[in-house]
Amino acid sequence: MTTGAWICLVSPLVSAILITLGGTRLSRRTAGYLATLACFVSFSGALASFVAMLGRSGGDREVVSTAWTWLSAGRYSSGFEVLVDPLSVMMMLIVSGVGALIVAYSIGYMDGDPEERRYFAYMSLFVFSMLLLVQGGNLLLLLAGWGMVGLSSYLLIGFWHERPNAIAAAKKAFIMNAIGDATMALAFFLLIKQSGGLAFGVLNAHYSSTTANLVALGLLGGAVAKSAQLPLQTWLPDAMEGPTPVSALIHAATMVTAGVYLIVRTHAIFEQAPKIADLAAGLGAGTLLLAGLIALVQVDIKRVIAYSTMSQIGYMFLGAGLGAYANGMFHLMTHAFFKALLFLAAGIVIHALADEQDIRKMGGLRRLLPGTYWASLIGSLALVGIFPFAGFFSKDSILAAAMAHGTYGYILWVAGLTGTFLTGLYTFRLFFIVFGGEPSAFVREHFHALKRDVVGVSMGGTVAVLAVLSLFGGWIQFSPWWHPVDTWLRTVAEPLVTPKSWQEWTSIGASLLLGLAGIYSAWLFYGARRVAVPRLDVAQRILERKFYFDELYDALFYIPAVLLAKGLYVLVEQPLVRGSVTELGEDARDVGGLVARLQTGLLRTYVLAIATSVAVLAIIFVAVR
Amino acid sequence: MLVATAGNVLVWAVWMVAAFACLASAVAVVSFSNPFYSALALIGNLGSLAVLYLLLSSEFVAAAQVLVYAGAVMVMFLFVIAYIGPRSESPWAGGPSWQAVGAVLAAAALLVEIIVAIGLKAGGRLAHSPDVHGSFGSPAYIGRLFLTDHLLAFEITSIVLLVAAIGGVILGAHSRRLPEELPHP
Amino acid sequence: MTGPGVAWYLGVAAFLFATGSLGVLLRRNPLIVLLSLEIMLNGANLALIGFSRNFGNGDGQIFALAVMAVAASEVVVGLGLIVALNRKRVTLDVDRLNRLRG
């Protein structure tokens, strides 16, 4: 079991190293094949662990395998170890599986890019980092993986580094993630202080309510930053500057879900700090509404999907905050399938239209890209949560859990249902605009179909696989009747709430209804064009400016920092530097100039000086002695 | 101090003449504008100094003064002056500059100080000179001192002379042609 | 000792020294500067010989002989410099020889 886990972890690292060391000795295509192979090997390792774990039961399913002692200082010591338990195996399967598919897709998508090798090295690095995060056997390794995925995200967002937008987006993402890293580090410091270590066991210790609240708050800060929830959500839409497979893998399927994983992994702390857990759920609900609203006015195809990701992660946070851990994780899994599917399908559209991403220029792609049309349809239906697609099974159980949480839970429930309507609306707005109607002028001019070679196979094939997963992947669990996912994760995280049967069915029904209503509204506005889209200029402006969060942060943090820097420069650095260094130099030069004037070069002056000094000295000697 | 005896009068007379010649020639050296005349005045100065040394019972030093200084050094001076050719400057033209004033003051100060210092410090010890034996100042006496008590000074002086000789040769040698002046192939 | 006392010789020596230094300070022709330097050295020699006679000690005379040898060496080098300068057609005026000014 642990061997599989180690293979899973190490394989992408080996690929990253080999591609980096190979450099130009590898052809670009070979780098892609190598990375894909490594990810598939990784997946088989994860599969092997999974199968082995099936053969065990209960507490036997949790194994820590230590390779060596990594860090040892005083009373604190930390090993380089992997934890193989149901939660980590589930994440391993998702990360390596979806990762392998997306890396395979990249072979086609990035074909022809001069820096393909660098791309595949970074992708392998990312997969390794993410696996380290989920497999890390102690909190320190989790933090290491956490930081490394942030790094990989930075490297991949800014992959096309000649574009200033990409660089700016990469910096923004990294800086906002760093805020979360800082809060997490503080939380870990507190843990070390109180319990002396960072093994996962310390999470189960009992803490005073202040400590628990502070630690949970720190962890929540990290989760919020990594998962782009309120209030640190502004980096995710900008991160769409990276290549589409990057958006699919990092900013949809895996990295942004790390926050949810963190909350589930450290649920013991959150259970000791119920207010913070409620805060997490509340932030999730707020984000899902915010993102849903903003997605209604976006015109970039990838940004719509990005906001939808933000919104769906809000659901996961909602679930995790309420204690419905298994439901949150299940939604994480199905979301990975259909969100990756949507992104990759969008990537096919973008490639077919010569890298155009503005949906206002698109239209009528149904006949030109039939496979993609069906894939997007499946993905969109799964996203909205329509039976029998994947999202249906996972989303509703979260809403049911909200109902079981008291009055606050009902508020969240209403928010969640509103979100479902919005999801239907914006998802199908996108779908109808891009695929419906007649081909637009732009499309007729620039469209070119995918070639039927490796490129076409890699892109089309992986999309097909993900479509199948989005179709059938949800059938693993249907809360009222069969729930193997719950049972699977029960040993790791016992759910806090168990919704009753009527709550389950009510949620299912309401959410289905609202989802269909959203789809119908989208059809009215954008599909059949029967009703004009309602426009409220004020609302339109607020949504287009993303609720002015960027401007707010600019005013709160960036401008004061710039002013401070400028002020210090003028008031402190200039005078000090000028006063000390420059003026010292000038003074030394002036003194030197004065002294240099004594050197007239004339013999007579020197001799006169000698004679005068002898005369003076003679007086002194005679007088003193 | 002034004991006027017959031998004394002769000594005093010789001393007066020699001292006056010494001082006059020194002033002449400093004042002439033609270096040739200055060199000749210096020869006169050296000669009167030799007489003064004789009066001080230092025969060997007097002889060396005439042979080495007046005979060799001054001849060398005269050679060089003749080689360089006529050159005269008018040292006292244009009025005294601050340099000249300073120089005169410094020289005057030195003179006064030396006299005052010696006068103050010597006390009564200068009044009475002991009688010296007959061989005082003879070549044998000097030679014995050089080879016993002051052997080191003797050897070092010879090295200094060697160095000066080498220096003279180097300074006088024709300068080597610089590489760019050599004929190119 | 018959004749003037040592003090008179020392006075002459002092005067020689002062006159020599005046010459070194005031004259512009390097040859005359060297000559004035010789006068200063001779003044010192006279003082040495005078003291040697006064104390009956031969060391002063040894010293004077050494001074004479050194003076001769210094004149050799000084005149060599002057000859070299002359060959390079440099003006023989110490006021103009100020290339080493700071």
The separation between the first and the last C-alpha atoms of chain B, rounded to the nearest angstrom, is: 83
Judge whether A123 and A35 are in contact, CB under 8 Å: yes
- Residue that the structure tokens 């050679």 belong to: B79
Give the residue-averaged pLDDT of A478-496.
77
Tell me the residues of chain B between 47 and 66 that have a Cβ less than 8 Å away from chain C: 49, 52-53, 55-58, 60-61, 64-65
Question: What gap in Å lies between CA A301 and CA A349, rounded to an integer?
Answer: 9
Residue type, A242: G
In sequence order, what are the beta bridge partners of A71? A78
pLDDT level of residue A552 (50, 70, 90 thresholds): confident
Please check whether residue A144 is in contact with residue A80, taking contact to mean a CB–CB distance below 8 angstroms.
no
Distances (CA, A) of A306 to A131, A150, A372, A552, C44: 23, 17, 19, 21, 103
* pLDDT over 70, % of chain A: 99
* pLDDT confidence bin for A94, thresholds 50/70/90: very high
Coil, helix or strand at residue A301: helix
- The model's pLDDT over A247-275, given as tens digits with 9 standing for 90+, comes to 998 877 788 889 999 999 998 888 888 88
10 Å Cβ neighbour count for B110? Answer: 21
What pLDDT shows up at residue B1?
47
Instruction: Chain C: give the shortest CA distance to residue B115, in Å.
Output: 7
First to last CA, chain A: 100
Q: Which domains does chain C have, with CATH numbers?
A: 6-87 (1.10.287.3510)
pLDDT in tens, C37-96: 999 999 999 999 999 998 888 899 999 999 999 999 999 999 999 988 888 887 788 777
pLDDT digits (tens, 9 = 90+) for A25-37: 888 888 889 999 9
Q: What is the pLDDT of residues A126-144, one digit of tens each?
A: 999 999 999 988 888 999 9
The reported pLDDT for the residue numbered A530 is 67
Question: Which of B103, B110, B121 lies closest to A614 in CB terms?
Answer: B110
β-partners of residue A199 are A138
> Which of the residue ranges A406-420, B15-29, B118-132, C84-98 would you say has the lowest mean pLDDT?
B118-132
B160 touches chain C (CB under 8 A): yes
What are the tokens at A85?
Answer: 């338990």
DSSP string, A432-444: HHHHSSSPPHHHH
Rounded to a whole number of angstroms, the distance from the CA of C100 to the nearest CA of chain A is 5
Confidence label for A13 from pLDDT (cuts 50, 70 and 90): very high
- How do residues B52-110 score in pLDDT, each as one tens digit? 999 998 999 999 999 999 999 999 999 999 988 776 666 555 556 777 788 888 888 88
Q: Which of C19, C21, C32 to mutate to test the interface with A (most CBs of A within 10 A)?
A: C21
Name which of C25, C95, C102 is nearest A599 (Cβ-Cβ): C102
- In angstroms, the separation between the Cα of residue B180 and the nearest Cα of chain C is 18
φ and ψ at residue B131, rounded to 5 degrees: -75, 145
Task: Report yes or no: C33 and B93 within 8 Å, Cβ to Cβ.
Answer: no
Q: Identify the closest residue of chain B to C34 by CA–CA distance.
A: B77
Chain B CB contacts of A614 under 8 Å are: 110
Q: Please tell me what DSSP assigns to residue C96.
A: T
B135-172 confidence digits (pLDDT tens): 888 899 999 999 998 999 999 999 999 999 998 888 87
Residue A592 to chain B, least CA–CA distance (Å) = 24
Backbone φ and ψ for A76, nearest 5 degrees, come out as -95, 135
State how far the Cα of B79 lies from the Cα of B36, in Å rounded to an integer.
10
Q: Which candidate, A280, A247, A256, A245, places its Cα nearest to that of A266?
A: A280
CB pair distance less than 8 Å for B39 and C35: yes
pLDDT for B89 equals 65
Q: Complex ipTM, two decimals?
A: 0.90
Say if CB A409 and CB A274 are below 8 A apart: no
Give the CA distances from residue C69 to residues A162, B66, B156, B172, C76, in Å, rounded to whole numbers and listed in that order: 83, 13, 11, 20, 11
Assign A614 a pLDDT band (cuts: 50, 70, 90).
confident
Does the structure show a pLDDT above 70 at B184? Answer: no
Assess whether pLDDT exceeds 70 at residue B6: no
Q: Do A612 and B117 touch (CB under 8 A)?
A: no
pTM: 0.67
What is the DSSP secondary-structure string of A133-191? HHHBSBHHHHHHHHHHHHHHHHHHHTSSTT-HHHHHHHHHHHHHHHHHHHHHHHHHHHH
Number of alpha carbons in the 13 Å side-chain half-sphere of residue C95: 8
Task: State the Cα–Cα distance between residues A80 and A614, nearest whole angstrom.
Answer: 81
- Would residue A202 be called left, alpha or beta, if left means φ above 0 and alpha means ψ between -120 and 50 degrees? alpha
Choose from B16, B25, B43, B49 for mutation: most chain C CBs within 10 A.
B49
- Which one has a higher pLDDT value, A573 or B67? B67
State yes or no: cis peptide before A164, omega within 30 of 0.
no
Tell me whether residues C94 and A602 touch, CB distance under 8 A: yes
- C-beta atoms of B121 and A622 within 8 A: yes
* Residue pLDDT, tens place only, A371-429: 888 889 999 998 988 887 878 888 888 888 888 888 888 888 889 999 999 999 999 98
Mean pLDDT over each residue of chain A, to the nearest integer: 86
Under DSSP, is residue A495 helix (H, G, I), strand (E, B) or coil?
A: coil
Distance of CA B72 to the CA centre of its chain: 13
Report the half-sphere exposure of A32 (CA within 13 A, side-chain side).
24
Q: What are the residues whose beta carbons fall under 8 Å from the beta carbon of A127, sequence distance 6 or more?
A: A12, A38, A39, A42, A95, A96, A99, A103
Residue (of A416, A388, A397) closest to A474 by Cα position: A388
Contact B120 A615 (CB under 8 A): no
How far is residue A69 CA from its own chain's centroid? 30
Cα three-residue angle B109-B114-B115, rounded to 5 degrees: 105
Residue A307 has pLDDT above 60, yes or no: yes
Q: Do you know the residue count of chain C?
A: 102
pLDDT at A499 over 60: yes
pLDDT tens, position by position, A505-549: 888 888 888 888 888 888 888 877 767 777 777 777 778 777 888
**Among all residues of chain C, which has the CA nearest to that of B136?**
C58
